[in-house]
Structure 1
Amino acid sequence: MASPLITLGENTVWENKHRTVSLTPRLFCDVWNMWLEPPASNEPIWRAGLAGLRALVAKAEAQNLRIRGLGGAWSLSRAAATHDIMVNTKPLNYIELGFRDSSLDIGFSGNPDALCFAQCGASVMELYQYLEARGYTLPTSGASNGQTIAGAVSTGTHGSANAIGSMQDYVLGLHMVIDGGRHRWIERASKPVVSQAFCHAIGAELLRDDALFDAAVVGFGSFGLMHAVLFEAEPLFLLEKSLVRMDYDRVHPVLGTLDVEALGLSGGAELPFHFEVVVNPYRVSRGQRGAYVRYMYKRPHRPVAVPTGGSTWVQGDDVMTLLGTATGWTPELVPVLLEPILSAQLGPVQGVAGTPGFQFGATDLRGDVMSTEIGVALADAPQAVDAIIEVANRFPWSGFPAIRYVKGSDATLAFTHFSPMACTIELPSAGSPRTLEAFHRVWDELRARGIRFTMHWGQNMREDRALIEYGHGARVEEWLRARRSLLGATGQRIFGSDWLTACGLG
């Protein structure tokens, strides 16, 4: 039997992209879609990568070591980190669009031609480029495209598509490698997609269970190594983007209702496909125009005079990239220096059309940055933003709230689980001890005001079971039950981590 190509590195110092986590694991492994010798038969190249993941899980189990999959290293939290075996899945970037009828369950009612099988290491950028070249696109994504599909989905990454939800909400199937090197295809019983013949062909056992799927899809690497996801792509469309600046008191009533008619947007009372507000917390008085409203309408695709696959315009979702050099700001200077940065980078835009891959393009990180992000119910959004503004004015730091909205997620521990609409409030900031202190003050202020909130698993967060339960309630125990139903004691141990234990989820 052919052996998969795996490169093993010892004493390799690993650091995430935002430089908030650094460690030296016992083994740092690269897994490839290649065999050490030619396979006996002509088969898809992804089989080598799958074999590599299975071999590494067996190795971890035999040596009683923990193992974590690593994608684009985009998470600011410790979600991907372990001191034992870290597996770089970036080389596993096989993408295939379209399924044969024989591979589909008789109950599948979607478009077989739009089904996309994407290996764990495929980046959002690679998916946009692959799909848009074939007349399709992702239904939604976060603003940055450096994340892998597995990492983005596993941590609950969202955009601002209020009618769709977060990235995990359009995933239909998960291909997971679990303890013993076994692999399972997991999908919802209420929404079957693939056939038994498909699972037999890839060698996986089919598991259909809504509770298991909803828990595992935002499982941050704790249900096994994710080999691939299946989702239904959307026919290519355009997003027409505008950005206007106005007073905060004009925007404030809209934050909890999304009744945008009073804002005078180009589409009138129509809620845009993508709606977000960036607030300068030090300019919220009337006449200071401290709110930047960025919105996009979904339009039919047509040729436009812009390239696909990446924009140089800095996204509000990742304005943290502007602040990487702001670590030396003194508290007195923060309110003075933040204004020219925001006004220069978030200048007016009117009706710029482009594909999603263009609008949500490359992110260039500059210096040390940090960010936390909370989720709240729509009705609580104004009070939550007011709490953050109050903390900022008592304790100035180089950050600000960026507010977005998505449909509430069914994923058990999605930080966007608030139904029917979740509001997300990101605080992109310069990386510094003062920023971390500010985050803790924000979390404490929200709790003191009785505002129920969750924390984004892929950003800076408080690793605290009590605070996690405050935001998720009984969903925590539901998630733990689902994990136990899939993994035995050995699997729970090897796919655990210090981070998971600190969160009370180990």
Structure 2
Amino acid sequence: MATTKSHPKSSWDTLHNNGPFPLKTLHVTELEGSANMFSKYDRYNDAAKEIQRLLREAADKNEGFRPYGSAWSLSHIAHQKDNMHYNGFMSIHIPIPESLSHEDSAYANENLFFFECGNTIKRISEVLSSHGKSLKTSGASNGQTIAGCISTGVHGSALNVGSIQDYVVGLNIIIGDKPTDIVYLERHTKPALNDNFAEKINARVIRNDHLFNAALVGLGAFGFIHGVVIEAEDRFLLKRYVKKIKKELALELADTMDFENSTFKIEGEVTADGKPNRPYHYKVFINPYTNESEYVVEVMYKKPYQVPYPDPFPVIKTSLYKDLIYLLIKISEKFPKSIPWFIKQLRKTILPAVNEETLGTLYETFWDAPYQGPAFACSVGIDHTHSSKAYKVLEEMTQKEGPIPGIFAMRFVKQTEATLGFTKFPITCMLEIDGVLWEKSRKIMSLTEYSRRMIEVLQENDIPFTIHWGKNSDWQFPNLVKDMFGDKVTEWKSYRNGLLSTEMQKVFSNGFLEDTKLNEPNETNEEDLIVSL
């Protein structure tokens, strides 16, 4: 049987030391060994019973309960003061036989895979590669768990793909301790698996687009995501270029996404009539403290998978421009540890010139995180047509009211269907500033004050925006979530209220939901929303 070790604790912290946060008990569940319980489905269902036991225990104590994976979120979204559950040992993966595909499924059966919540992006990529498959996109690295990724909306910079949650086609969620409290959710307009699959995981099926989209980026509030069904694709290669281009051109591409008619052209990356190809990925790095004439851009083009190809790791391992925090940390190593001195030097530091080329799979290109120490990250989502305007006003604020020890980047993501997905614009520019953590002083505002000013400046300049759920911000800012998502907030709450009992709504709440007012129930009964359509 699955077993849980429960450790009394006084505090818990994120990977990037954004706490510490108070905690009573940390739970770690390990699955029964395969030698004792051969069937993966049996081991999976056995673990579900153990999670249900822990949920009942928390509810009986009038306490909260929240699972977490790799602790990569820099906000307090993963924290719960009473009970936290580490999911890292819950890592079963199961290919889907054709007999379990829904009769109306439009998905190629060979592309459907079922992963338990604790599988990391790295492990999933390895499993898929053994089947000749790949994820469609990932974040800048690979250490997050799949449940954590979709719960917060982790994204890369894939212009035509979306975020990680956008290739999830099924959700298995534990919403309480009753036999009927294990549910399997799909969209009714895009069914993937049949009822026989749900029976194998002891779940009741609900096919409902609105419920599915609400739970997809559920912020940990819709229950314990035990497993996900994803749609993979055939393995492919990414040709990666990192180089400096004129800043006016870099920002023009950000605002227009019109690569085909741009003067930006890379030899060999053109159509038959000589026009530039549209890239798979586009990213811009910017030091706000120097008036450089050129910005560093990272551009990737999707290629068919074929072997052999040159080993990309010698370049990827040493590249400064694979991760924004890593770039900032490498720059900081040249200077003393004093934050004021470091910021002073940032004003004189030109981002290093570069002319890199690599060819590799998605897994090889977005590799292990190079830095896991103290760090901050603030990230806002805006319509890409406002990219340069938003950067200009935030740059001016950072220069005049800062400085702070960070640098900017832009990434671009296709629109999500998730109700509270922050990549809500047709193409969302994720404008982020990452760097090293600092303490407030007479000369430097606090991180909360800086993130509050980001919100205020965007509002003052009439730039609609969202904020990355897993990044630093002033999450208590008045009406923040309502201003970002409007009526979508009521819709999201309605489906949460309808799916969860009042008791379990409290169990699956936490300080983050309280700060954002997302824990507050609507005053109507929404149980009739939770039906298959």
TM range (shorter): over 0.9
* Structure 1 CA distance for aligned equivalents of residues 19 and 161 of structure 2: 32
Label 1:93 to 1:357 Cα distance change in 2 as closer, same or farther (>3 A).
same
Label 1:214 to 1:413 Cα distance change in 2 as closer, same or farther (>3 A).
same
Q: CA RMSD in A?
A: 2.4
Partner of 1:298: 302
- Match of 1:228, SS? strand
* Structure 2 CA distance for aligned equivalents of residues 453 and 246 of structure 1: 27
Shift of 1:357: 0.5
Partner of 1:458: 470
Q: Deviations over 1:160-207 (max 9, x none)?
A: 111110111110000000023521001111111111111112110101
Label 1:12 to 1:322 Cα distance change in 2 as closer, same or farther (>3 A).
farther
1:92 is aligned to 2:97: no
Q: Deviations over 1:211-235 (max 9, x none)?
A: 1111111011100010011011111
* Structure 2 CA distance for aligned equivalents of residues 213 and 83 of structure 1: 28
1:123 is aligned to 2:120: yes
Shift of 1:255: 1.7
Label 1:15 to 1:259 Cα distance change in 2 as closer, same or farther (>3 A).
same
The letter for the 2-side match of 1:283 is T
Structure 1 residue ranges without an equivalent (≥5): none
The letter for the 2-side match of 1:230 is V
Label 1:315 to 1:196 Cα distance change in 2 as closer, same or farther (>3 A).
farther
Label 1:15 to 1:44 Cα distance change in 2 as closer, same or farther (>3 A).
same
- Match of 1:412, SS? coil
Shift of 1:43: 5.1
Partner of 1:33: 31
Task: Answer yes or no: is the 8 Å Cα contact 2:63–2:507 preserved in 1.
Answer: yes
Label 1:129 to 1:478 Cα distance change in 2 as closer, same or farther (>3 A).
same
Q: Deviations over 1:346-389 (max 9, x none)?
A: x2213x10000010001122542100110001211111111121
Structure 2 residue ranges without an equivalent (≥5): 271-275, 520-533
1:413 is aligned to 2:420: yes
Partner of 2:531: none
- Match of 1:153, SS? helix
Shift of 1:441: 2.2
Shift of 1:479: 0.7
Label 1:51 to 1:180 Cα distance change in 2 as closer, same or farther (>3 A).
closer
Shift of 1:48: 3.0
Partner of 1:264: 265
- Match of 2:177, SS? helix
- Match of 1:48, SS? helix
Within-5 A mapping of 1:153-192: 153-181=150-178, 182-192=181-191
* Structure 2 CA distance for aligned equivalents of residues 438 and 15 of structure 1: 22
Partner of 2:351: 342
Task: Answer yes or no: is the 8 Å Cα contact 1:165–1:406 preserved in 2.
Answer: yes
Shift of 1:23: 2.6
1:371 is aligned to 2:381: no
Task: Answer yes or no: is the 8 Å Cα contact 1:32–1:48 preserved in 2.
Answer: no
Q: Deviations over 1:461-505 (max 9, x none)?
A: 221351222221111111111111111211111000111111110
- Match of 2:66, SS? strand
The letter for the 2-side match of 1:447 is Q
Determine which of 509, 512, 524 is the counterpart of 1:496. 509
* Structure 1 CA distance for aligned equivalents of residues 7 and 197 of structure 2: 35
Label 1:337 to 1:283 Cα distance change in 2 as closer, same or farther (>3 A).
closer
* Structure 1 CA distance for aligned equivalents of residues 239 and 66 of structure 2: 39
- Match of 1:34, SS? coil
Within-5 A mapping of 1:35-74: 38=36, 44-74=42-72
The letter for the 2-side match of 1:68 is R
The letter for the 2-side match of 1:492 is Q
Shift of 1:331: 5.0
Mean alpha-carbon deviation: is it higher for 487-496 or for 262-271?
Answer: 262-271
1:383 is aligned to 2:389: yes
Mean alpha-carbon deviation: is it higher for 464-473 or for 148-157?
Answer: 464-473
Task: Answer yes or no: is the 8 Å Cα contact 1:329–1:398 preserved in 2.
Answer: no
Task: Answer yes or no: is the 8 Å Cα contact 1:143–1:159 preserved in 2.
Answer: yes
Label 1:465 to 1:504 Cα distance change in 2 as closer, same or farther (>3 A).
farther
Partner of 1:235: 234
Label 1:281 to 1:307 Cα distance change in 2 as closer, same or farther (>3 A).
closer
- Match of 2:420, SS? coil
Determine which of 129, 134, 137 is the counterpart of 2:134. 137
Identity of aligned residues (%): 29
* Structure 2 CA distance for aligned equivalents of residues 366 and 223 of structure 1: 29
Give the TM-score normalised by the residue count of structure 1. 0.92
Mean alpha-carbon deviation: is it higher for 467-476 or for 65-74?
Answer: 467-476
Between the two proteins, the alignment pairs up a number of residues equal to 496
Partner of 1:78: 76
Q: Deviations over 1:415-436 (max 9, x none)?
A: 1011x21111111111114461
* Structure 2 CA distance for aligned equivalents of residues 110 and 372 of structure 1: 36
Q: Deviations over 1:107-164 (max 9, x none)?
A: 0121112211011000011111121122111100001111001001110011111111
Q: Deviations over 1:11-66 (max 9, x none)?
A: 25321100002234221001112179955988543233222222211211222210
Mean alpha-carbon deviation: is it higher for 35-44 or for 486-495?
Answer: 35-44
Shift of 1:329: 4.8
Determine which of 432, 437, 454 is the counterpart of 1:431. 437
Mean alpha-carbon deviation: is it higher for 495-504 or for 395-404?
Answer: 395-404
- Match of 2:424, SS? coil
The letter for the 2-side match of 1:102 is S
Partner of 1:312: 317
Partner of 1:252: 251
